[in-house]
Chain A
Amino acid sequence: MRHTGMEDFMKKVLLAAWLVFALGFLGACSNEAPVDAVDPVDQAWTDFRAAYGELETTEEKLPLIRGFMREHPDTEYAGMLAGAVAYYQGDEMADPVGAYALLGETLAKNTDPEARYQIGMAMFPLAMEMGEPMDLGVVAEELAASRPLDFGEMIEVADAAITHEQWEVGATYAEAALGKATAEAFLSDYPDDDYTAEEAAVKADRRKAMSLANLGWAQWNLDQTEEAMATFEEAAPLKSVNYVGAADTPLDLYRGKAMLAAGEPVKAMEFLTPGAIMGSDDDAMSALREAYVAAKGNDQGFDEWIWSERKALAKSVGTFTLADYDGNPHDFSTLSDGNVTLLAFWFPT
């Protein structure tokens, strides 16, 4: 009995030891598995990016993007590629219908709120171009139900809605964006960056100018004329201009269009001219032509007038010195001297 007892005891010890070993082993497996094994979707994404990096033309890139999206519709990556589908297929290949169809199929299978927002935002301008009804408010609300929207998203929704004349949605999100147009809100969006109080105040003013420009134009189109004028007035002191003297928010464009609609074409021309002439803004240019016709009775002399305004507004480039990639310094005035020069600012991707 004793012997048997001893055997039982030993069996228990061995069993316990095995259990400790086995559980430890299983535990180790479950701890280590995610580190060792790459998720197949992540691997597919890595492969996709490597292949994409080798391609140059839209004709080459688009099938790869479409293929990845079809393979992996319910992933965050599908959301990240939505804008590329709209751009390459919708714009570059001039096939909004095909782009919209793929994005629609993907959206139907996607369950990630972030990706669904990106897909929805990419589909919206395509839908508008095709005359398909689509409520941008629904796209924004869906993401907002999963987490609070940030300023960039609010202004993006407002801007897209207003561009496509969804005034109510535009006003709602421009007003929400205005609530985030403070230095505190800006700093809390960029906790890891070292902005001074002064820099944060400048950024907040820019947010405010963007929000008010959009809000004012939405109000104007909702027939809230007085509110719109007050909103534009509030935005006016916050206006900042770019190097060529055009406003860097749509404030002047919207104010100019409002003035034109209000029957004040001369005032409208003042607001519209810099953006139309110096900012390569087609929308501002066509409104400016309309204002010119309203002020002068016809468009005779418009092109000559544009040219003289352009010369009056044009700013001389001072010189500066930068090095090329061999380290040789170049003085800009020497490079451009007497030539027509295209000066482009870019960054490699």
Chain B
Amino acid sequence: MSKMIKPYGDKLNDGMVQLSFTLPVKADLAEEAAKNIALKMGLADPHTVYHKDIGEGFTFVIVYGKCTHSVDVSKLKVTKVVEEWMGLDEVNEFVKKNIKRKVVVVGACIESDAHTVGIDAILNMKGFSGDYGFERYSAFKVYNMGAQIVTQQNIHLHNLTKLIDMIESEELRDKFLVIVGGPSINNKFAKELGYDAGFGKGTLPSHVATYAVKKVLSRMGKVKSKRKQC
């Protein structure tokens, strides 16, 4: 059964949204320009509630309008990495009982990426936001390789594809669970690139741990994964 929805302000289906953006025009033109942009975005009755000259010929605006579009939520597919997260003790217990050996985890920033904060948050003993990192788990043997390379060039997204290509050309793809993470990563995107999973902002070490051990087990063929990965 279809279920159409719109943004909600204070009445169902009023479609109210707030926008803020900058236009490369002086203030005298900005109010009208902002309204027209909003109309083209599909917002009815747009109001520029605030505008301010912020220098160099730019004007900041805040606009409200009513979204004329709606979506059918019954047709949406949502990707979830796993159904329920386990904590540190549960993961350790799960591995002890089911996998019966340590799961080896190798972490690194690839190519010229030197930002180790994310990989450290997941792997280092201390973890992130009160959630212990992989080094604290008895279930894991962790190699954190950090940032690798003295860079000569810029980072591109193709680094991510390149890694997968390399693993595939060495015919090792089936031997690894390949997981990517970062503030601009999501699970869908990661899968499109050929990764097993992707973790974005707000990920805790226990999230990655839960996913990893369950997936390793299903790969080992001992248990079929209950949920199909979409």
Mutual binders A and B:
no
> B residues engaging A (CB < 8 A)?
none
